[in-house]
């Protein structure tokens, strides 16, 4: 999606980062979508499909009579698949009408927070729903108290350093135009669009050492984090080391999942 994306998308490092994100967050996403009920025959839109894991899972879930459209600006990691009911297209969701509408499910994860036009895009996604269709959006909340909460769940003796790390993350993302608290506002945004049955949940897994997601993310953001002046090279190295320590648990970021249904 268009905007000042905080991650460098060049090279296989980005594919590895997306795979690490999928490892941590796909389970919660699939559980929440599955809770909506039998998806056989649904038409689904996956926005900012990234590595394509959720799009491929949806294609299996909707069956031969259903259809999944997955869109992104970079299709390198999602285009290759063997699902006849999955279509992957390059599309800039900020630049014009969607390729199609009338969806039973529209889903976007870790996308809207990066877009300057996030509120307008959210309305576009809601308008793409069929009557009775569900919009489900997932974005991080690393603002203020939530960042402090993450630090509290780091190993004993590392809470203060984790707090500095979260402050640096918040500053680095903010400097790139990311709304670091957008996840928290999603339920109210969906309700303001007139969707019904609005709900939400937080996902903040305790990850065992060696889980690659946070350490890999921090390493790829190293120049941006150090540029904030809120964390030193040594402190950042220690934080990454903590995420790899086999005997220690850590929390990455809080993911907010919010959903609402178009009246039908």
Residue 6 has pLDDT above 70, yes or no: no
Residue 137 has pLDDT above 50, yes or no: yes
Counting Cβ atoms within 10 Å, is residue 176 exposed (0-12), middle (13-18) or buried (19+)? middle
Which pLDDT score, from 0 to 100, does residue 166 have? 93
Asked if residues 206 and 249 have their Cβ atoms less than 8 Å apart, the reply is yes
Q: Compute the mean pLDDT over every residue in the chain, rounded to the nearest whole number.
A: 92
Tens-place pLDDT, residues 214-259: 999 999 999 999 999 999 999 999 999 999 987 889 998 899 999 9
Looking at the chain, the whole-number percentage of residues with pLDDT higher than 90 is 78
- Unique residue bearing structure tokens 């780091």: 154
Q: Strand, coil or helix: what is 194? A: coil
Tens-place pLDDT, residues 107-126: 999 999 999 999 999 999 99
User: For the CA atoms of 106, 1, 172, 7, what is the dihedral angle to 10 degrees?
Assistant: 110
Counting Cβ atoms within 10 Å, is residue 164 exposed (0-12), middle (13-18) or buried (19+)? middle
Tens-place pLDDT, residues 100-111: 999 999 999 999
Tokens of 179: 């709304």
Please give the biggest Cα pair distance in the chain: 56
Angular region, 114: left φ>0, alpha ψ -120 to 50, beta rest: alpha
Tens-place pLDDT, residues 23-63: 999 999 999 999 999 999 999 999 999 999 999 999 999 99
Q: Are strands 43-47 and 103-109 parallel, antiparallel or unpaired?
A: parallel
């Amino acid at each position: 999606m268009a905007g000042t994306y905080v991650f460098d998308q060049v090279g296989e490092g980005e594919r590895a980062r997306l795979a690490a994100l999928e490892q941590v967050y796909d389970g919660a996403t699939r559980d929440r979508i599955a809770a909506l009920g039998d998806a056989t025959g649904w038409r689904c839109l996956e926005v900012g499909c990234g590595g394509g894991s959720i799009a491929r899972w949806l294609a299996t879930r909707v069956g031969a009579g259903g259809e999944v459209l997955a869109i992104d600006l970079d299709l390198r990691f999602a285009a290759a698949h063997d699902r006849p009911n999955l279509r992957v297209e390059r599309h800039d969701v900020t630049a014009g009408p969607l390729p199609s509408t009338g969806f039973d499910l529209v889903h976007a994860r870790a996308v809207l927070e990066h877009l300057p036009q996030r509120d307008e895009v959210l309305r576009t996604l809601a308008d793409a729903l069929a009557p009775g269709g569900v919009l489900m959006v997932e974005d991080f909340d690393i603002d203020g108290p939530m960042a402090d909460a993450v630090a509290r769940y780091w190993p004993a003796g590392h809470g203060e350093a984790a707090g500095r790390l979260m402050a640096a993350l918040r500053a680095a993302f903010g400097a790139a135009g990311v709304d670091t608290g957008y996840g928290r506002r999603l339920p109210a945004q969906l309700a303001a669009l007139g969707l019904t049955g609005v709900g939400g949940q937080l996902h903040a897994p305790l990850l065992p050492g060696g889980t690659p997601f946070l350490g890999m993310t921090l390493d790829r953001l190293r120049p941006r984090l150090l540029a904030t002046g809120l964390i030193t090279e040594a402190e950042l190295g220690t934080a990454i080391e903590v995420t790899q320590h086999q005997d220690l648990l850590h929390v990455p970021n809080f993911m907010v999942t919010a959903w609402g249904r178009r009246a039908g």
